[in-house]
Amino acid sequence: MLVDHDTPPPDTLLHWRREFPILDRCTYLISNSLGAMPRGVYDNLRAYADAWATLGVRAWGDGWWDLSGQVGDKIAPLLGAPPGSVLVHQNASIANSILFSGLDFSDPVRDKVVICDLDFPSDVYVLRRWLPEHARLHVVKTHDSISIDTDELLDAIDERTRLVSLSHVLFKSAYVMPADEIVNKAHAVGAQVVLNGYHSVGVIPVDVSASGVDFYIGGVLKWLCGGPGGVFMYVRPDLLQTLEPKVTGWFAHDKPFAFELEQPALRDDIYRLMTGTPGIASLYAIQPGVDIISQVGVEPIRAKSIRQTSLIITLADRAGYAVASPREAARRGGTVTINPPHAYEVSRELLARNIVIDYRQNAGIRIAPHFYNSDDEIYQVMDAIAQILDAGSWQQHAAGRSFVT
Ligand SMILES: Cc1ncc(COP(=O)(O)O)c(C=O)c1O
């Protein structure tokens, strides 16, 4: 046993556990990767199948056509966005493509796009493909593999900057970037900001209206328990008409059923950013998770998350494991990355023991409790790591590495 278990405080959020079937089957500490599935998804997918089976093509008129925006409206309050400003797409790579393809890069003096080297690579892949020839990426580098120096970042945002594209919470370390300072500096020099909210919405409070951020894109599959196939894309309402996306499709067309071959007149509302037929099944599956998170409320989720991530850090410190996440609670998202000896092999043995976490190269084991996890589960994973190291059972995983959890 690694430590004596302290008496846990009463945890009223634990009654939500019964809504998530997987919690009865394993120790699920990986909501930074894929949040647990709410049991309500069974009903929603049945409703989808029923609509398809009984209404057939008429289902488009009975709600399917507008579902991407309706689900966007359901997600919007969780990021402080007004109705009509959020649209759901299949993934962030597509949402970024739509955005980057629609930005006006024509000012030759604004030739700089600021990113950092701890951003999610897919954001950068897409950005590189859309960067016009005269523009260049300015990569602000980390000094500690956990965070980005705020002064260096703000200094990099200058009068030549067209766009700042950063994660709100960094995916490897869960460092919370100073979003308000970034937006204020960018706006002061005439630049725009897109933030990746994959690791923020649902686990830390986000208010895009208060911050004035220009664009905000994140996924539902992690902290919103919405499953694969859904990201939300927020555009500040006054900027919508400035976007002329090259990645487009007939759902964005003002008169989609005119079937004209001319340049499309794009819609004036958020559907301006649509492409083609959306994945309707995902739009059904997303909703129970979003409903639950909305009911629970992000404030209590954040309070519990800070308590449990602090507990992980305390236990890691006692055991002498390196911690690769911020120690300051205000700068830490929902995940703690720890790097015990033989971290990769230990992570494989944890999975073999039905304790579900993940491992990221050059970072370590990511442990991500959500509002449905108990403190006992935190002790369980930390005790298991100590036991795996003591007994040497990590050694059976020493041959062959796979980076897919
Ligand atoms: C920060 C971040 N951005 C984006 C993604 C996924 O991108 P996409 O929606 O394009 O698959 C992930 C997935 O793990 C992520 O952690």
Sign of torsion, CA 291 296 300 305?
A: negative
- Strands, DSSP E only, in 13-74? 27-28
* C-alpha 92 – ligand 1 centre gap (Å): 6
Quote the tokens at residue 381.
């994973």
What distance separates the 2 farthest-apart alpha carbons in the chain? 71
Sign of torsion, CA 171 82 103 113?
A: negative
* C-alpha 171 – ligand 1 centre gap (Å): 9
Measured distance CA(221)–CA(38) in Å, rounded: 12
Q: Residues, the chain, total?
A: 405
- Of 132, 137, 131, 112, the closest CA to residue 190 belongs to 112
- Closest-lying ligand 1 atom to the alpha carbon of residue 96: 10
Beta-ladder partners of 137: 113
On the CB side of 13, CA atoms within 13 Å amount to 23
Measured distance CA(372)–CA(287) in Å, rounded: 18
* C-alpha 130 – ligand 1 centre gap (Å): 18
* Per-residue pLDDT tens digits for 49-69: 999 999 999 999 999 999 999
pLDDT band of residue 362 (cuts 50, 70, 90) is confident
Sign of torsion, CA 396 401 402 403?
A: positive
Q: Which residues make up the CATH 3.90.1150.10 domain(s) of the chain?
A: 12-30+297-397
- Closest-lying ligand 1 atom to the alpha carbon of residue 90: 9
pLDDT band of residue 262 (cuts 50, 70, 90) is confident
Q: Which CATH architecture has domain 41-295?
A: 3-Layer(aba) Sandwich (3.40)
Share of the chain above pLDDT 70, in %: 96
**What local confidence, expressed as pLDDT, does residue 1 receive?**
43
**What local confidence, expressed as pLDDT, does residue 65 receive?**
97
* C-alpha 292 – ligand 1 centre gap (Å): 22
Does 97 sit in the ligand 1 pocket, CB within 6 Å?
no
Taking a C-beta distance cutoff of 8 angstroms, is the pair 116, 153 a contact?
A: yes
Does 219 sit in the ligand 1 pocket, CB within 6 Å?
yes
Does 92 sit in the ligand 1 pocket, CB within 6 Å?
yes
31, 93, 119, 122: residue to mutate for ligand 1 pocket, most atoms within 8 A of CB = 122
* C-alpha 222 – ligand 1 centre gap (Å): 10
Place of tokens 């700068």: 331
- Closest-lying ligand 1 atom to the alpha carbon of residue 167: 1
Q: Which residues make up the CATH 3.40.640.10 domain(s) of the chain?
A: 41-295
Average pLDDT, the chain: 95
Taking a C-beta distance cutoff of 8 angstroms, is the pair 402, 351 a contact?
A: no
**Any idea what DSSP says for residue 221?**
S
* C-alpha 34 – ligand 1 centre gap (Å): 11
How large is the average pLDDT for residues 32-43? 98
Residue 2 above 70 pLDDT? no
- pTM: predicted TM-score of the whole model, two decimal places: 0.95
Residue with CA at minimum distance from ligand 1 atom 6 = 92
**What local confidence, expressed as pLDDT, does residue 263 receive?**
80
Taking a C-beta distance cutoff of 8 angstroms, is the pair 247, 103 a contact?
A: no
Strands 231-235 and 215-219: antiparallel
Does 223 sit in the ligand 1 pocket, CB within 6 Å?
no
- Of 119, 174, 150, 211, the closest CA to residue 302 belongs to 174
Measured distance CA(210)–CA(81) in Å, rounded: 9
Give the CATH superfamily of 12-30+297-397: Aspartate Aminotransferase, domain 1 (3.90.1150.10)
Q: Which residues contact 260 (CB under 8 A, 6 or more apart)?
A: none
Count of other CB atoms within 10 angstroms of residue 253: 19
* C-alpha 216 – ligand 1 centre gap (Å): 13
Does 103 sit in the ligand 1 pocket, CB within 6 Å?
no
pLDDT band of residue 399 (cuts 50, 70, 90) is confident
30, 90, 198: residue to mutate for ligand 1 pocket, most atoms within 8 A of CB = 198
Residue 405 above 70 pLDDT? no
Which of 6-20, 71-85, 226-240, 289-303 shows the lowest per-residue confidence on average (mean pLDDT)? 6-20
Residue 123 above 60 pLDDT? yes
For the beta sheet containing 322-323, the strands, ordered from the edge strand earlier in sequence to the opposite edge, are 322-323, 336-339, 364-367, 358-360
Buried b (16+ CB within 10 A) or exposed e, 148-167: beeeebbebbeebbbbbbbb
* Helix (H) or strand (E) run with residue 51 in it: helix 40-55
**What local confidence, expressed as pLDDT, does residue 264 receive?**
76
How large is the average pLDDT for residues 219-244? 98
How large is the average pLDDT for residues 237-241? 98
* C-alpha 372 – ligand 1 centre gap (Å): 23
Quote the tokens at residue 221.
């599959």
How large is the average pLDDT for residues 8-29? 93
* Per-residue pLDDT tens digits for 135-194: 999 999 999 999 999 999 999 999 999 999 999 999 999 999 999 999 999 999 999 999
* C-alpha 219 – ligand 1 centre gap (Å): 7
